[in-house]
Structure 1
Amino acid sequence: MLNESPHETAVRELREELGLTVTLHALLVVDWVPPHGPWDDQISFVFDAGSVDRVRAAGLKPQDGELSEVAFMLPEQAAELLPARLCHRFEAAVQALTTGRPAYLHDTQPVWPAEPARGEPWGCS
């Protein structure tokens, strides 16, 4: 959708793709990604949309053709399924939830030396 802010896009996408209405609580990650493959550069945002209870989670199902399934798992398990670029961004988002400090990344890497160093605890390659 044109002229839609990143946080409005996140809320709309969750509603359209999962039938889930959320309130965003915080910005977790901003990641500038240089041109790659057929794509121009992009800025990716990750937001904290809170959590869902077991009853609501059990009822989540893909609402359109963009998703094939919904699954809940530990962060370590999710990281194993993600490609390296998304795994590093995911790791930064989980760290931001813990520290309360959003991460600013350049192609998945922290921009400022003051950013806490991230290891490879989940095997992101």
Structure 2
Amino acid sequence: MTDDEARFAYLAEGNARQARKRVAADLLIRDEAGRVLLVNPTYKDNWDLPGGMAESNEPPRTAGARELAEELGLTVTAGRILVLDWVGPHGPWDDQLVFIFDGGTLSPAQVKTIRISDPEIAEFAFVELAEAKAMLRPDMAQRLARALDALATGVTNYSE
């Protein structure tokens, strides 16, 4: 074994023992009236922002855009990070990183193209912030408010 091969094997062994983080990537998408796009997942009790879990070695921004295309047939370019949260372990879940990216404002023509294309999504709606807060889990409602604040101020919001 060469020195390069031995070093690679040593680093690969260390990598295999390091923690893996679950990563969720959501998109804050608005219509021209400023309403927020929410989805109603079939596997959750509350509505959610569009997006989902990153696959192994998938960049978060790519994961959010992929999930949006898979679930609603909508293609957008995920913009800057509005919110990044570390969520500690809870229930059966390990800790995770939650990203919310700016998904932009859709034109009326783009809104008309949205179609549910995944059985995980029962319905979608564009709603005002007050209505969204009532539809989302409290932690997601708080993240949405922080994302809208980050959008307005230009400052990414990070929380643990």
Q: Shorter-normalised TM-score: what interval?
A: 0.7 to 0.9
Unpaired runs of 5+ residues, structure 1, are 107-125
1:103 and 2:143 equivalent? no
Match of 2:89 in 1: 35
Greater Cα radius of gyration, structure 1 or 2: 2
Equivalent residue runs for 1:33-112 within 5 Å: 33-106=87-160
TM (normalized to structure 1)? 0.81
Identity %: 42
Are 2:82 and 2:157, in contact at CA under 8 Å, matched by a contact in 1?
A: yes
Consecutive aligned runs of 4 or more in structure 1 exceeding 3 Å deviation: none
Q: Measure the CA separation in 1 of the matches of 2:146 and 2:120.
A: 24
Are 1:61 and 1:69, in contact at CA under 8 Å, matched by a contact in 2?
A: no
Report how many aligned residue pairs link the two structures: 106
- Which amino acid in the other structure matches residue 79 of structure 2? H
RMSD after superposition: 1.0
- Which amino acid in the other structure matches residue 93 of structure 2? W
Unpaired runs of 5+ residues, structure 2, are 1-54
Residue 20 of structure 1: CA displacement?
A: 0.7
Match of 2:74 in 1: 20
Q: Measure the CA separation in 2 of the matches of 1:61 and 1:70.
A: 9
- Which amino acid in the other structure matches residue 42 of structure 1? Q
TM (normalized to structure 2)? 0.64
Match of 1:115 in 2: none
Residue 79 of structure 1: CA displacement?
A: 1.1
Secondary structure of 2:118's counterpart equals: coil
Q: Measure the CA separation in 2 of the matches of 1:93 and 1:54.
A: 23
User: 1:34-84 CA distances to partner (integer Å, 9 max, x unpaired)?
Assistant: 001110101100000101112221331211011111101111211111111
Secondary structure of 2:69's counterpart equals: helix
